[in-house]
Structure 1
Amino acid sequence: MAVHEVERDAMTRALHAAARGPRGVNPQVGAVILSAAGEILAEGWHHGAGTPHAEVDALSKLPEGAARGATAVVTLEPCNHTGRTGPCAVALIDSGITRVVYALDDPGVTSGGGAERLRAAGVEVESGVQAEAVHALIEDWLIAHRLGRPQITVKWAQSLDGRAAAADGTSQWITGPQARADVHRRRADADAIVVGTGTVLADDPALTARDHDALYPHQPTPVVIGTRETPTDAAVRRHPHEALFYDTRDLAAVVADLHARGIQSIFVEGGPTLASAFIAAGLADRVLAYVAPVLLGGGRVALTDIGVSTIAEARRLAVDEWVPLGADLLAIAHFTPGVNETDLNETDLHEPDLDEGVR
């Protein structure tokens, strides 16, 4: 059966409703209930883990029996499992809904299959409506669901000869204002920003995402990893979000805990030791390398040991984009399949007394 224009419009409304829900362990989902005549009867969205799903939230706003013969328009395939809440597919069937239109299939092994269950109960089902728009909204969640952890971007700034700081440890500023503004825009897109204690002690970064002197509306949660104490008056402690401190060198455990907290994307700012440790542990999906046309020499390299002892072990990347930023150049790249991954337990995560600055 063809998808009607009123259903496409309802999907747009469901998409806006979904965006009202929080990012977290569960995807942002919206739902709209249409009468047989195409009138909007109710809308709902998922308000967070443990709360009714979008379909049930919308149905709860209707009198008993009001959904009979109606159409449910949902951004994600109605779930087919019992977790903290029951299966949405069953709730829709029990409500008397006769048609369901949704955008994306549920990728979950246990939660997927709702469309098949609906069809088996005699409900008409159409999928793929405004799939691209819905995918854009929950892309980070989909990636985190596939990986079983947050998507991790490792960023650094370097001189043309691969240095992150001058011989005396100074690093502000290797790159120019356009590159630094680009970093802040990308910080604002992330759920968490991660640094090592070396960076905190050396540069006292605020770890905020700033648009000139103002803060971006969305701020990443600051995360500090390392065994050294962060001073009580450190700038990171005045961040809009309470900072998370991990007194450990077990990056896999940190990433797992952040995932459990609903963090979908991580922006690793370094310094070089921490950035290298993430890469060595196989916990990096994407690299942002800001390259400035300056030469520094010396030994303060942008990356340290990443577990490569011979060219055959090189960590291969595919460049997605080269972005000119004033005099600087940004390389955006992702790791290609089949690279060797070093177990973190075999990686010695040292913390030098003086680490790089956050640019």
Structure 2
Amino acid sequence: MATAAETAAMRRAITLASRGLGHTSPNPVVGCVILDATGATAGEGHHQRAGGPHAEVHALRAAGDAARGGTAVVTLEPCNHTGRTGPCARALIAAGVARVVYAVPDPSPQATGGAATLRAAGIDVAQGLLAAEAEAGNAAWLTHARHGRPHVTWKYAATLDGRTAAADGSSRWITSAEARADVHRLRAESDAVLVGAGTQRADDPHLAVRGVEGARQPLRVIVDSAAGAASSVRPGARVLDDAAPTLIAVAEDGPRPPAGADVLRLPRAGRGLDLAALLTALGARGVRSVLLEGGATLAGAFVAAGVVDRVVGYLAPALLGAGPAALAGSGVTTLADALRLDLTDAVRIGPDLRLTATVPVCAPAKENA
């Protein structure tokens, strides 16, 4: 059973791990706290960037000799392989720790086995402390490790009656400057930002991160299922500037995007593109987290395909009574088939309300719409 000091240390490790969001992909975010033999904090650290030292190494360096006989509290099972860095399980053994407490087992075939290595060296090992909280913070990497695709967050902004624009098409700005700034934080934590052709044509979005210090720009992805000769991404579109990389996903028989654009050709599925193939291709490019920003039809296709993991909705205290809804074509025709979510957070952002909900893991996947 975990001690009070270990529980407090794990909460701290989860907080430390969150500092790596947007910087460690395709690696996980991990936090570690070293307690000395008396249970006092001796060192702490987190994985800061892919290719750099892991959380355990940072924490052990900070703890020094105080780690000997102490306890390492880690959000993810210490790795057991040599990649760009050495195995953390071996580093903990060399440091002389007596106990390791970790939250979530490592599901990746190449890195798992750290707990067994530690136990074989005579170290006491405990698993599962605050596992749900640690899983939530590392959802993107765990989704890819377990399911072979990136974690998908659908973000939308709407009025209280669920409208994303007025009847005349005007939509700027439904939510406040504070909410829009918070969206840039979401972008900064994501590997890719994705919109559909309709949003591209209507808004000419830029999709890059602004106002977040030290942010790594995400891959900008336009999903264009057009069958005609003209691409939805025209020369001079804002997504074609050099602020961030851009990928245009088109059908195998689709139009040729502007010269110089990075193009991904995908098979069709129903009235759109094969979303499973899209996510697999993005995962192969190192994308572990996708922020789906629009529009309603593409969001509906993702929901219908069962590949939305989290929903973040920004609700403005306004009513329109008419205009497009946030979601269309999800395949739900009766209340009994509604996709029920787990509400995990509700917070006021300026005058608006930000709701965050996750899709239960038991929710069945559907065929592409």
The answer on 1:330 being equivalent to 2:354 is yes
Q: What number of residue pairs does the alignment pair up?
A: 334
Deviations 1:98-122 (A, max 9, x none): 7564644532264333232333244
Give the aligned partner of residue 313 of structure 1. Answer: 337
Deviations 1:68-109 (A, max 9, x none): x8989584433346778886646876x696756464453226
Give the aligned partner of residue 319 of structure 2. Answer: 294
Deviations 1:269-295 (A, max 9, x none): 101111111111111122223333121
Give the aligned partner of residue 64 of structure 1. Answer: none
Q: Evaluate the alpha carbon distance shift between residue 269 and residue 105 of structure 1 in structure 2; reply closer, same or farther with a 3 A threshold.
A: closer
Q: Evaluate the alpha carbon distance shift between residue 112 and residue 177 of structure 1 in structure 2; reply closer, same or farther with a 3 A threshold.
A: same
Q: TM-score, normalised by structure 2?
A: 0.67
Contact kept, 8 Å, 1:158 with 1:290, in 2: the verdict is yes
Q: TM-score, normalised by structure 1?
A: 0.68
Amino acid at match of 2:304: A
Q: Evaluate the alpha carbon distance shift between residue 268 and residue 107 of structure 1 in structure 2; reply closer, same or farther with a 3 A threshold.
A: same
Deviations 1:262-316 (A, max 9, x none): 3332211101111111111111122223333121525x33221111122322222
Give the aligned partner of residue 243 of structure 1. Answer: 246
What is the distance in 2 between the residues matched to 1:35 and 1:339? 43
C-alpha RMSD of matched pairs (Å): 4.8
Q: Evaluate the alpha carbon distance shift between residue 44 and residue 117 of structure 1 in structure 2; reply closer, same or farther with a 3 A threshold.
A: same
Q: Which runs of 5+ in 2 are unaligned?
A: 61-67, 226-230, 251-265, 267-272
Contact kept, 8 Å, 1:192 with 1:265, in 2: the verdict is yes
What is the distance in 2 between the residues matched to 1:225 and 1:336? 26
Q: Evaluate the alpha carbon distance shift between residue 334 and residue 82 of structure 1 in structure 2; reply closer, same or farther with a 3 A threshold.
A: same
Give the aligned partner of residue 199 of structure 1. Answer: 199
Q: Evaluate the alpha carbon distance shift between residue 273 and residue 82 of structure 1 in structure 2; reply closer, same or farther with a 3 A threshold.
A: same
Give the aligned partner of residue 226 of structure 1. Answer: 224
Give the aligned partner of residue 273 of structure 1. Answer: 297
Give the aligned partner of residue 24 of structure 1. Answer: 25
My pick for the range that moved more, 255-264 or 244-253, is 255-264
Contact kept, 8 Å, 1:80 with 1:89, in 2: the verdict is yes
Residues 161-176 of structure 1 mapped to structure 2, 5 A cutoff: 161-176=161-176
Please report how far the alpha carbon of residue 320 of structure 1 lies from its aligned counterpart in structure 2 after TM superposition: 3.1
Larger radius of gyration: 1
Residue 256 (structure 1) aligned to one of 240, 258, 280: 280
Give the aligned partner of residue 114 of structure 1. Answer: 114
What is the distance in 1 between the residues matched to 2:106 and 2:243? 34
Give the % identical residues.
Answer: 43
1:78 is paired with a residue whose SS is: coil
Contact kept, 8 Å, 1:18 with 1:31, in 2: the verdict is no
Amino acid at match of 1:317: L
Q: Which runs of 5+ in 1 are unaligned?
A: 60-68, 348-359
Contact kept, 8 Å, 1:19 with 1:137, in 2: the verdict is no
Q: Evaluate the alpha carbon distance shift between residue 301 and residue 96 of structure 1 in structure 2; reply closer, same or farther with a 3 A threshold.
A: closer
Amino acid at match of 1:311: L
Amino acid at match of 1:244: L
Deviations 1:231-250 (A, max 9, x none): 23211122532112211412
Residues 204-219 of structure 1 mapped to structure 2, 5 A cutoff: 204-210=204-210, 214-219=211-216
1:315 is paired with a residue whose SS is: coil
Give the aligned partner of residue 256 of structure 2. Answer: none
What is the distance in 1 between the residues matched to 2:352 and 2:47? 43
Amino acid at match of 2:115: A
Please report how far the alpha carbon of residue 56 of structure 1 lies from its aligned counterpart in structure 2 after TM superposition: 9.0
